[in-house]
Structures are given as structure tokens and as C-alpha cells.
Amino acid sequence: LAKTTQPISMDSYEGQEVNITCSHNNIATNDYITWYQQFPSQGPRFIIQGYKTKVTNEVASLFIPADRKSSTLSLPRVSLSDTAVYYCLVGDLGNTGFQKLVFGTGTRLLVSP
Amino acid sequence: DAGVIQSPRHEVTEMGQEVTLRCKPISGHNSLFWYRQTMMRGLELLIYFNNNVPIDDSGMPEDRFSAKMPNASFSTLKIQPSEPRDSAVYFCASSFRQGITGNTIYFGEGSWLTVV
């Protein structure tokens, strides 16, 4: 399984764009990159998933360079409610039939007024 | 969709007692996961099932822990006997593989276990 490395914590202010980068140097050909968000006292929640280039949804954007050894989660104009822990995961979710996602330590984002 | 349903939401038990955590995955999902979360160790995968069959239980801490999935709509995680170090939040999650486009894992709200 590809190991991921991301910053332990980040601070931001309301209205700013936040970019959280995750390193996954040994990502395999069949691996997808997935980001989850976890609020206190809740289970992790899916944010976005991608394989290459750029993916955008109503919540965030995910930028993946051509070598796929890293990825960046971009949260536009964060609000106080975006304060949470963000996890980057890499795993084969497709053709093997089975998947096993291992969560790293995550990035604790604190958004201040 | 009701989401992944876990019970109990909170449990306080005495050391040595048996603890059974229950999970109902999202209908139609074919994979089920049990995770444990603590401040010290973060979110750990304990075991996962595919089509009701345990695929990988390498994360189960020791023989005191056991998990079953008798059918597609129900799973249990049992701790017997429980110890204070088992105190944690236990999450159940489920997913359905959607071919080559990948899939997502949906988590329940967790079962908060305190062993005193």
C-alpha cells in the first residue's frame, strides 16, 4: 500500500483558499487518490477522489501532477465550519476486487475568524 | 438512504465484560470495514469483509477481538474480555466497488466505548 505524508496541521482565516498537499511517492498504477474530512465526534466523510490531472466538485478541487507522486486538495474560501481533520488516502479501488484504505495521521485544519 | 448505522452509540463497561458492537451497512454495499480511532494511534483499520467474507484481519489487535458478518446487512465486532486500553471510538464503514472508476467508503457515526 502506498504510504502518504501530509502536514500535521495548518492554520487559515475565513475566506482564504487552503491547499493541503499530500506526498505518495510509491503510488501504484491502479491506485486512486481519495480525501476524507472528519469533524470532531463524527466519522470521516468523503470529499473528493481522483486518478490524474484535476477533479472538481462542489466542495473542493483535487490537483494531481503527471507523475502522481503527490496531490493537492484545494478548499476555496474556507469558513469556520471547514475546521476539521483532512485525510489523504491512496489505494487500489478498482480492478482488483478488494480494497483496503489505510488512514494516515491527517492534517488538522484550523480556520479562524 | 439511511447510511451506515451503528449501535450502541455510547457504551461504558467494566473491565472484563464482553462488548458487542453492531453495524448495518448501506444496502447494496458489498464491502464492510471496522476501524478504531484513538488519540494516540489515530484511525486504524481492524478488519474488512468483502461479500460477507473476512479478507484481511491483520489489524485486529489480539484474540480478544473478533468480528463476524453473518449476512450482507449485519456485522458485529466483539471484545471479550474488554480492557481499559480498548477504550476508543469504533467506526463501521461500507462501500460498493463501482468498476474502474473507483469507489468511496461511507462511515457510520461511531460507537464510543469506555472500559473502566
Q: What is the pLDDT of residue A28?
A: 86
Is the pLDDT assigned to residue B31 strictly greater than 70? yes
| B104: nearest CB among A49, A95, A103 | A49
Give yes or no for A101 touching B (CB within 8 A).
Answer: yes
In angstroms, the separation between the Cα of residue B9 and the nearest Cα of chain A is: 11
The 3-class SS string of B26-62 reads CCCCCEEEEEEEECCCEEEEEEEEECCEEEECCCCCC
Up-side HSE of residue B97: CA atoms within 13 Å toward CB?
19
Residue B90's pLDDT is 98
Considering only the beta carbons, identify the residue of A43, A44, A93 that sits closest to B102. A93
Tell me what the pLDDT averaged over chain B comes to: 91
Q: How confident is the model at residue A97 (pLDDT cuts 50, 70, 90)?
A: very low
Number of neighbours of residue A66 by Cβ within 10 angstroms: 7
- The residue with greater pLDDT, B31 or B6, is B6
Residue-wise pLDDT tens digits, A51-96: 999 999 999 999 999 999 999 999 999 999 999 999 998 877 554 5
Between A4-8, A31-35, A58-62, B6-10, the lowest mean confidence (pLDDT) is in A31-35
pLDDT score for A20? 97
The dihedral through the CA atoms of A94, A95, A99, A105 has a sign that is negative
Phi, psi at B84, each rounded to 5°: -55, -35
Q: Is B34 on the interface with A (CB under 8 A)?
A: no
Cβ neighbours around A86 below 10 Å, total: 24
Mean of the pLDDT values across residues B5-19? 97
pLDDT at B109 over 60: yes
The answer to whether the beta carbons of residues B113 and B18 sit under 8 Å apart is no
Residue B81 pLDDT grade (very low, low, confident, very high; cuts 50, 70, 90): very high
Query: How far is A47 from chain B, CA to nearest CA, in Å?
Result: 9
pLDDT above 90: percentage of residues in chain A: 70
Nearest chain B residue to A93, by CA: B102
Q: Could you tell me which residue, B88 or B104, shows the higher pLDDT?
A: B88
Main-chain phi, psi angles of B57, to 5 degrees? -115, 25
Query: Of A35, A59, A86, A101, which to mutate for an interface test with B (greatest number of B Cβ within 10 Å)?
Result: A101
Mean pLDDT of chain A: 89
> Chain A residues with CB inside 8 Å of B33's CB?
101
